[in-house]
Amino acid sequence: MYPMGNVTRNTIAMVLAGGKGERLSPVTLNRPKPCVSFGGKYKIIDFVLSNLFNSGIKKAYILTQYRAHALNKHIKNSWAKWAGLEEFYDTLSPETSSAGEEWFKGTADAIYQFMRFIESSNAEYVAIFGGDHIYKMDISQMIAYHIVNKADITLAALEVPAEEAKRFGIFSVDEDFRVTAFTEKPDNPATIPERDTCFASMGNYIFSVKILLEILKEGKKKHADLDFGKHVIPMMLERGDRVFAYNFIDNLVPGMRQEEKGYWKDVGTIDSYYEANMDLINVVPQLNLYNYKWPILTNQSNLPPAKTVFDEEGRCGQNLNSYVCGGCITSGSTVRRSIIGPRCKINSYSLIEDSILFENVEIGRHVKIKKAIIDENIKIPDGTEIGYDHEADRRRGYVISDSGIVVVTK
């Protein structure tokens, strides 16, 4: 840790939240990946915004693009109203009808299009973070590390086994963790000196403002699709800029348990998304949402508590080993090892197992659902079975993942 007083005072954040999340389809057909539900009541973007907020960074622009309405609404209804004087959580989207604006062509191009917001600020540092991962991080520690090293850019790095490194962009570093090279998905990944692990890029960066503006202008002359991994980092290494890797495993948030250290999930596929959600209902999950010293914040809707009704033989409302959100009614049915989003109703004689229900799902009577994800605002008719016969599920038009998770969308 690198405590250095209030290092976030001169920092603004730019959160990249415009991605389609195509590998997470069909859940992302009508919403961007950062706006997908996670853990029942949250959206994926709530994790990075909570990290910024809890770290003391309360000046943040969220760059949205693909099907941005739902995400813009979520930010406005929750994050925008928590900002104080001279603080903001504001969404920015490219205006395609304007002569000077166009859709983002790369991660760095997105920042370039809104460079004027950085130039008009008094910030010394810019935190550029992705909006589509699940993790907890005290970003002020990374900024302090950046300052100590007199870095031009600091790259958040995940320490991964060498055999897994081929899936990532990998940093080569010296003994001081100064980056000497960056390679996308290498066949022979460089290991960290005196270790058998590698540094993988998390896609999160701290820039010194002057260098960022300089490199964006220089890079945009050469690359229309300016991207941090493909262009900006290699350009900075070529120029001899001070590029450092920050080891995410060294980051500690208040109240963090040992098993949570280094937790970071991409949730980029249906299977990885399902597994990360299901971890939450374990007795000791890797990700602890009950740590009130580092809360994950979201829109606090005025919903009544969840309740169960009926306690009769053959008709008992019960939630077992499950995570049930506000406004839910489990009426004479059984929910087992599942995550039930806000405002769901599960009617009598039904069984929900190992499943995820998004917001405002209604389950009819005598329904059986196993290992499924049900999208929001869907009504499942009486007597339906999902997850028991995959051929029948496919005939209904449901998508089935590699590991057999059935996804039901409108």
Kindly give the pairing relationship between strand 372-374 and strand 406-408.
parallel
Flag whether 201 is marked binding.
yes
Q: Is residue 58 within 8 Å of residue 87, measured between CB atoms?
A: yes
The token pair that represents 88 in the structure block:
């903001």
Phi/psi for 147 (5° steps) reads -70, -45
Q: Is residue 345 within 8 Å of residue 380, measured between CB atoms?
A: no
User: Could you write out the DSSP letters of every residue in 235-247?
Assistant: HHHHHT--EEEEE
Helix (H, G, I), strand (E, B) or coil at 54: helix
The token pair that represents 340 in the structure block:
């039930």
User: Beta partners for 11?
Assistant: 125
Flag whether 84 is marked binding.
no
Kindly give the pairing relationship between strand 372-374 and strand 179-184.
unpaired
Calpha distance 334→209 (Å, rounded): 55
Closest C-alpha among 15, 21, 32 to residue 111: 15
Calpha distance 377→359 (Å, rounded): 7
The token pair that represents 232 in the structure block:
């900006």
Binding residue positions: 169, 184-185, 201
Binding residue positions for alpha-D-glucose 1-phosphate: 169, 184-185, 201
